[in-house]
Structure 1
Amino acid sequence: MMVNCCGLLTSQKEPVPLKSVEVELEVRDHVATVVSTLSYENKEDKPLEAVFVFPLPGDAAVCHFSAQIGQMQIVAEVKEKQEAREEYDDALSSGQQAFLLEESEQSPDIFSLSVGSLPPGESASIRLEYVTELAVQADDGLRFCLPAVLNPRYQPQGSGGGEGGNVQVTSVQVTSVPASLVPYSLSFSARVSSPRPVSKVESNCPLDPLQYLNTEQTQTTVKLAAGHKFDRDVELLIYYKDAHQPTAVVEAGRASSEPGTLMGDPVMMLSLYPEFPQAVMSSVASCGEFVFLLDRSGSMQGARMKSAMDTLLLLLKSLPMGCYFNIHSFGSSYEHIFPESVEYNQKTMEEALKNVAEMKANLGGTEILKPLKHIYSQPCIPSQPRQLFVFTDGEVGNTKDVINLVKQNSGSHRCFSFGIGEGASSALINGLAKEGGGHAQFITGTDRMQPKVMQSLRFALQPAVQDISVKWDLPKGVSVIDLSPPITALFQGQRSLVYAQLTGQGSEASEGCVTVRYSLAGHPSQNQLHFSLKPAEDTGLTVHRLAARTLIRSLEMEKREWRGQEDGGDKKKKVVELSVQSGVSSAFTAFIAVNKGNSEVIQGPLVRRNVPTPMVMACGMRRQCVPMSYDASPVMNMMALRQAEPCSLKKRSLPKQPPRDPLLQLVSLQKASGCWVLDPDLAAALGKTSEEVEKPKPASVNQEVWATILALIWLHGFKMDAQEEWELLAMKAVSWLQAQKASCVTECVDAGNALLGCTVQKDVLGL
């Protein structure tokens, strides 16, 4: 019999009941509310159970889940997870329609949605709502990401859940297909409003033009251009004028909840932007232990790996003399260049760069826990604060174990994380930075990795802020319960969020004040914010739900420390109570909806259909080598991925290597001390012959001084668009020049400008 291949089919030639996903985003200042509507239709002659495993932002608070069948709407309740599963199974076995939404216990950015007993010919519309804070990028843009792509998460053996290339959410496994074969459509629209004007909205996907809704330009709408394919995460970057304004929002409690409870009392959300003294900020730390941890799993192959290697070159050239460093890399196993961190000098820098040049994405799976444990097992170096930089495409299944390890070691280091490519786990990348007191960056699409990494290096070179405390000054009769974990890291201009529950009664018109005190480079400093206690209008319960999510996540992180403790059960009970009370999802609860109004029992055996999720094929891999479905044996899946053959190994002539980026060519010639040497390689990088470069050198000037001034002029004259990438290594070059106390600097700059055809002023170079 021929198989009928019409309609929407999975890779197993099964019809797909999910027809479309419609997403509406509302951004108010830095808080996003997202409503997703998933439309299902059963075109088969048997009743179906449709199972869809999909990603959400890792810090999202899922707060509403409902199903519309014909004219009937069923709103789901939050219940303890096992109870919800049993209720779902009971409903299906008795022929009722039921809907179950649950969060993965291993990774809070993966959810499973089960649509049970959809009769032949029936349609259902599922509405899912969540709220999330938008992270501030280093260029002050607020980043919203709608994760569309769910890549296979590598689950190390013995860590619970699945293993190999499967994503396992509870008992559910994911079917993945290449993004180009996703059989349902996506539409996406956004509305942005803020007290400050919206200056621009950018995206990695084509957008229709921005539509401003008022003359002040504080409200705007934007949507994805027609024809968007579900082949990448949808990333929006929103820029406000004067973004760095501290704000305070007080939200009234829910009238139906008891005073004294989280949902019954007013809750406050503070956004604090510390401003450090200029004198402190202009100095760059000249010490530190810089540990770079690079993902070399198979999925990093191709452009990701090349970009990471170029980035390591810039990082190594930008480190201050006198610091310590090491480079670790990992896949299924892990390696390091030096047995322990070494002092940074010309010899160690050259040895590291030689090793980096030979690195390939050939270490198999993504086991990040073991190399982290190895790094933390090494004693810290006195007076050299440890700074850890983690580069990964974020495809791990044991996210919570990894984040918890970073949290346990947060007192000894700062962790800066970089999510590379589509489908990088936001829960992992944001969690590493949050628990490690650092900063998270995401590098997607055609983004250059280098500017973002160098921005984070600048943060790492800021003095560490110590002894952070938050003091409240409130009217008589009002007290505060902190809902956020203590602030562990502050960076110049970076936002810190604080949630607090206000208890007791104060006069309506009263004001409060919060003071953040800290020590910076040995000097006591403070930032203060005065705010009104009058509740904001029309916020729904967004702030309460975000506060509940913050508290739930803190308690779940502690769960790893409960094992074997007598009060572990009580703490889990507290999470369940808080989740049920606030209507916000957690690892221990699920949303359950049963259609009890349907008197007809659905007849016949239930057929399960897994809805495929888009995944991005690793760059440089032969497409036919990668299994399109991850329902097969996990071990076979991992073998297939590891054996995926790079395109360049096909039996044909190898493509010519593209010429090296001129900036990286020049940077690669800089010495660890910051200077350049006058040689044929430098002349070639500057686009000149050796004779052309040597001839105009003033007679009394040292060759290295002349070479270094030429390199600085070239950077300022031709590469200002990439200044963020070379700024730190140029500062090092200027420091080296100043230490030489060279004469004739003005003469050198004039001669260098004439040679290179530039007009760069001496003071612009910092000389």
Structure 2
Amino acid sequence: MVNCCGLLTATKEPVPLKSVDVEVTVRDHVATVAATLLYENKEQSPIEAVFVFPLPGDAAVCHFSAKIGQSEVVAEVREKQKAREEYDDALTRGQQAFLLEESEKSPDVFSLSVGSLPPGESASIRLEYVTELAVQADDGLRFCLPAVLNPRYQPLGSDGGAGTISFGPGTSVPASLVPYSLSLCASVCSPRPITKVESNCSLDPVQYLNQQQTQAAVKLAAGHKFDRDVELLLYYKDSHLPTAVVEAGCASAKPGSLMGDPVVMVSLYPEFPPAVMSLMTKSGEFLFVIDRSGSMSSPMSNADSSQIRIDSAKETLLLLLKSLPIGCYFNIYSFGSSYTHIFPQSVVYSQQTMDEALKVIEDLRADMGGTEILEPLKHIFKQPCIPSQPRQLFVFTDGEVSNTKAVIDVVKRNSGSHRCFSFGIGGGASTALINGLAKEGRGHAQFIAGADRMQSKVMQSLRFALQPAVVDISVTWDVPAGVSVTTLTPPITNLFQGQRSLIYAQLTGEGSGDAEGCVTVKYSLAEHPTQNQLNFSLKPTEDTGLTAHRLGARTLIRSLEVEANEPGVLSDQVKAKEKVVEVSVQSGVSSSLTAFIAVNKGNGEALQGPLLRRNVPAPRMKMGRISGRMAQMAMPIIGCSSAMAPDMALSANRVPMPSKGLFCKKKKVLAGSNIMAHSLCAGMVEMDSADYEDPQDLAIPAPRDPMLQLISLQRASGSWLLESALAAVFGRTLKDVEGATPVSVSPEVWATVLAVIWLHGFNNDAQEEWEFLAMKAVSWLHGEKVPCMTECVEAGNVLLGCQVQESSMGISFLDV
């Protein structure tokens, strides 16, 4: 009989993990993370504890050790199969052993095995990794500690069959059932002042450690509930300044080796000429790929008011469609256990095709079962590209798949024909998948969770997609004689205005103490040759913890892993795998082909008694808002050899999901109005036909989100029609709006001017969301050659109660 003392799982099994303490040290744009996991065996027999948990997909795990009593065992990196054999042999001998390994299918999932922990014994496990901080749309640097491990859907035909959880049995439970605590403290150091620190979790007040505010300390408030990943957003003054750090090699490593030589880490922020940036492209094939698996019915966060993921995605699709330039091509794909597309092939963007797409978007639900993203991507890449229409791929997913590397691989193989912009939706989205899609697809990645608005982040990516393509990128080094440079970073394939590019390189040879080097990035932008240059001192910086070396090694390892999996000559694949193991062992950085192994031989006495396996559960986001019984049916069961993923469970039970988003169907719409627009009016009072026989005299209640209502009414050309639904957004009757029309101004021009004024006057803080559709409106007005534009704007300001200037609207030049 199991002794049910101490921490327990949902199945009453003891949980040996008591707490997780995390220390984060941020230096400029790189974080070093040390996690201490405290285990305690309160049972009568020795146990093996297995903990599967997420880490950032680009993290370089560089240290693993265990402290038992007063003795400490530091793990070493071995080839994975050898490490497993050594671990099994140690358990057979009754010795304590510790094994840390990365998933072979997804680099953001790790497994930690603590073997032969004696009765009454405690063990403190220390895990360290380094990671780069991603740059966000508002120039903040994002650190994320993944705390949520959602079940990953395993595609049909892969090992284990569809719907199984690929990373092991019984490894995730709802946040409320997690039986151990988490604490986190962070210290931040920057060469520039830290302007603010934000988080999606409760923090204790930020403490600045010096007068210059270049150092700060922050701590996670007590009582973290494990219902979300822990996210810190750091803001520095002048964060776009390029930097270069030369890090001294390890004194004990062999000179000429990666760890023995200095490594330079260069952070570049390309600045494009303003004249070129004004040449926003008006062409392209825009393909929107939407996850409609069952997990997309979950909320963005566990807050009661949180929007459902699929509803947020639908609102974003509406905004994207309205913002596309006239003359481009587009199509929309949905995927789950299968995939569909609105049009057989991409179509020209017009009023007709936009209306067809919006009708389909209105009915999108999270009802397509599993998460099989690979097949729709393969289908897209088989389609011929349209001449003079660069392909731009926008992928929206909550990232809960197991075949991450296969998905990223197909994007990489086709990267010459497209750019991929990826969006991770909700807590627990796979960082490896989202970042990998963007990196290999020459695009940009965004994560949307908690209270984040998807629309603003997506529109930044659309801005990148509409930038002139950067081609012919090259990196050259100018260093003194006697010094050579070996670049560790793969060739740069994409550059965006104001976005960071990191380059790692090994410096071999000797230079004088005051010598300087120079790195130059050259590229062509809209047929304009351009270059960015950075000079830096070759004098190494001491006491950096080998951060640059480990991140450089991780970058090199990732490139070699891709080579090892590429189809081709078998001997080349074998050489690439051997090189992965060599670099991983030499640098002490994890890879998919190696593992950390530590064995505590103790006093040589073998532990006695049967070894009990204990699976330590990781937290996961709660399911969509369904009944308690159905939610239980969808949960993995602790201790089972396999479990049905939530995606498959939802599909099999066909549970209808209530919609809390903007798309709430109505039985009736107002006469003469846009059907799509009025289906968006969530919360409007149902009216009988007799109530709106005369639409001109009817004041319509404003919808819950007037801005999205206004956007839904815009035509593909960029104009608005003068109709009751538009007047309702303004809080006016159609009769009032028509009566204020200036002389000699057409209703469509008047409606469009009012819409642009209203956006500037009442939604200026969301300008990044409506900027492109407003530009379309201004362009349309220019084509109409509007007379007396000044008088028109003045009349609009009077009607709407605004004071918007023509110059701020960008239409002052329209007076004729």
Question: Which residue number in structure 2 is paired with residue 531 of structure 1?
Answer: 536
Bigger shift: residues 637-646 or 748-757: 637-646
Question: Is 1:235 matched with 2:231?
Answer: yes
Question: Which residue number in structure 1 is paired with residue 649 of structure 2?
Answer: 640
Q: Look up the equivalent residue of 1:283 and give its one-letter code.
A: L
Question: Which residue number in structure 2 is paired with residue 507 of structure 1?
Answer: 512
Deviations 1:347-375 (A, max 9, x none): 00000010000111000000000000001
Per-residue deviation, 1:180 = 1.2
Per-residue deviation, 1:628 = 4.2
CA–CA distance in 1 between the matches of 2:53 and 2:721?
Answer: 54
Question: Is 1:182 matched with 2:190?
Answer: no
CA–CA distance in 1 between the matches of 2:391 and 2:13?
Answer: 52
Question: Which residue number in structure 1 is paired with residue 217 of structure 2?
Answer: 221
Question: Is 1:719 matched with 2:724?
Answer: no
CA–CA distance in 1 between the matches of 2:101 and 2:469?
Answer: 39
Question: Is 1:338 matched with 2:343?
Answer: yes
Question: Is 1:415 matched with 2:450?
Answer: no
Structure 2 counterparts to residues 14-163 of structure 1, below 5 A? 14-160=13-159, 163=162
Q: What stretches of structure 1 move > 6 A for 4+ residues in a row?
A: none
Deviations 1:108-130 (A, max 9, x none): 00000000001111000000000
Question: Which residue number in structure 1 is paired with residue 206 of structure 2?
Answer: 210
Question: Which residue number in structure 1 is paired with residue 297 of structure 2?
Answer: 301
Per-residue deviation, 1:562 = 4.9
Judged with a 3 Å threshold, the aligned counterparts in structure 2 of structure 1 residues 562 and 595 are, in CA distance, closer, same or farther, namely: farther
CA–CA distance in 1 between the matches of 2:516 and 2:360?
Answer: 59
Q: Look up the equivalent residue of 1:661 and give its one-letter code.
A: D
Structure 2 counterparts to residues 703-718 of structure 1, below 5 A? 703-718=747-762
Question: Which residue number in structure 1 is paired with residue 266 of structure 2?
Answer: 270
Contact preservation (8 Å) 1:391, 1:419 = yes
Contact preservation (8 Å) 2:280, 2:467 = yes
Question: Which residue number in structure 1 is paired with residue 806 of structure 2?
Answer: 762
Question: Which residue number in structure 2 is paired with residue 495 of structure 1?
Answer: 500
- TM-score of the pair, normalised by structure 2: 0.91
Judged with a 3 Å threshold, the aligned counterparts in structure 2 of structure 1 residues 96 and 5 are, in CA distance, closer, same or farther, namely: closer
Deviations 1:623-667 (A, max 9, x none): 333224265464755643422624549xxxx99954441111000
Contact preservation (8 Å) 2:5, 2:42 = no
Contact preservation (8 Å) 1:166, 1:630 = no
Bigger shift: residues 718-727 or 19-28: 718-727
Question: Is 1:476 matched with 2:485?
Answer: no
Contact preservation (8 Å) 2:250, 2:259 = yes
Q: Look up the equivalent residue of 1:239 and give its one-letter code.
A: Y
Bigger shift: residues 656-665 or 193-202: 656-665
Question: Which residue number in structure 1 is paired with residue 615 of structure 2?
Answer: 610
Q: Which runs of 5+ in 2 are unaligned?
A: 299-307, 660-664, 667-680, 684-702, 812-816
CA–CA distance in 1 between the matches of 2:635 and 2:205?
Answer: 39
CA–CA distance in 2 between the matches of 1:630 and 1:379?
Answer: 47
- Which residue of 513, 519, 524 corresponds with 2:524? 519
CA–CA distance in 2 between the matches of 1:333 and 1:744?
Answer: 55
CA–CA distance in 2 between the matches of 1:637 and 1:482?
Answer: 42
Q: Look up the equivalent residue of 2:425 and give its one-letter code.
A: I
CA–CA distance in 2 between the matches of 1:457 and 1:197?
Answer: 31
Bigger shift: residues 223-232 or 57-66: 223-232
Question: Which residue number in structure 1 is paired with residue 325 of structure 2?
Answer: 320
Contact preservation (8 Å) 2:97, 2:597 = yes
Q: Look up the equivalent residue of 2:655 and give its one-letter code.
A: E
Question: Which residue number in structure 2 is paired with residue 364 of structure 1?
Answer: 369
CA–CA distance in 2 between the matches of 1:536 and 1:677?
Answer: 63
Per-residue deviation, 1:507 = 1.2
Per-residue deviation, 1:253 = 1.2
Deviations 1:576-632 (A, max 9, x none): 111000000000000000001233311011000000111112332333332242654
The DSSP-based 3-state class of the residue aligned with 1:348 is helix
Q: Look up the equivalent residue of 1:242 and give its one-letter code.
A: D
Q: Look up the equivalent residue of 1:599 and give its one-letter code.
A: G
Question: Which residue number in structure 2 is paired with residue 751 of structure 1?
Answer: 795
CA–CA distance in 1 between the matches of 2:143 and 2:731?
Answer: 42
* Aligned residues: CA RMSD: 1.7
CA–CA distance in 1 between the matches of 2:658 and 2:530?
Answer: 56
CA–CA distance in 1 between the matches of 2:656 and 2:452?
Answer: 23
Identity of aligned residues (%): 72
The DSSP-based 3-state class of the residue aligned with 2:202 is coil
Judged with a 3 Å threshold, the aligned counterparts in structure 2 of structure 1 residues 724 and 67 are, in CA distance, closer, same or farther, namely: same
Bigger shift: residues 468-477 or 5-14: 5-14
The DSSP-based 3-state class of the residue aligned with 2:506 is strand
CA–CA distance in 2 between the matches of 1:178 and 1:136?
Answer: 30
Deviations 1:147-186 (A, max 9, x none): 0000010111233466414132xxx434211011100000
Question: Is 1:667 matched with 2:672?
Answer: no
Deviations 1:88-126 (A, max 9, x none): 001011110000000000000000000000111100000
Structure 2 counterparts to residues 432-471 of structure 1, below 5 A? 432-471=437-476
The DSSP-based 3-state class of the residue aligned with 1:173 is coil
Judged with a 3 Å threshold, the aligned counterparts in structure 2 of structure 1 residues 355 and 254 are, in CA distance, closer, same or farther, namely: same
Q: Look up the equivalent residue of 2:635 and give its one-letter code.
A: P
Q: Look up the equivalent residue of 1:332 and give its one-letter code.
A: S
CA–CA distance in 2 between the matches of 1:174 and 1:553?
Answer: 29
Bigger shift: residues 3-12 or 281-290: 3-12
The DSSP-based 3-state class of the residue aligned with 1:692 is helix
Contact preservation (8 Å) 1:620, 1:646 = no
Q: Look up the equivalent residue of 1:680 and give its one-letter code.
A: S
Contact preservation (8 Å) 1:11, 1:628 = no
CA–CA distance in 1 between the matches of 2:807 and 2:268?
Answer: 35
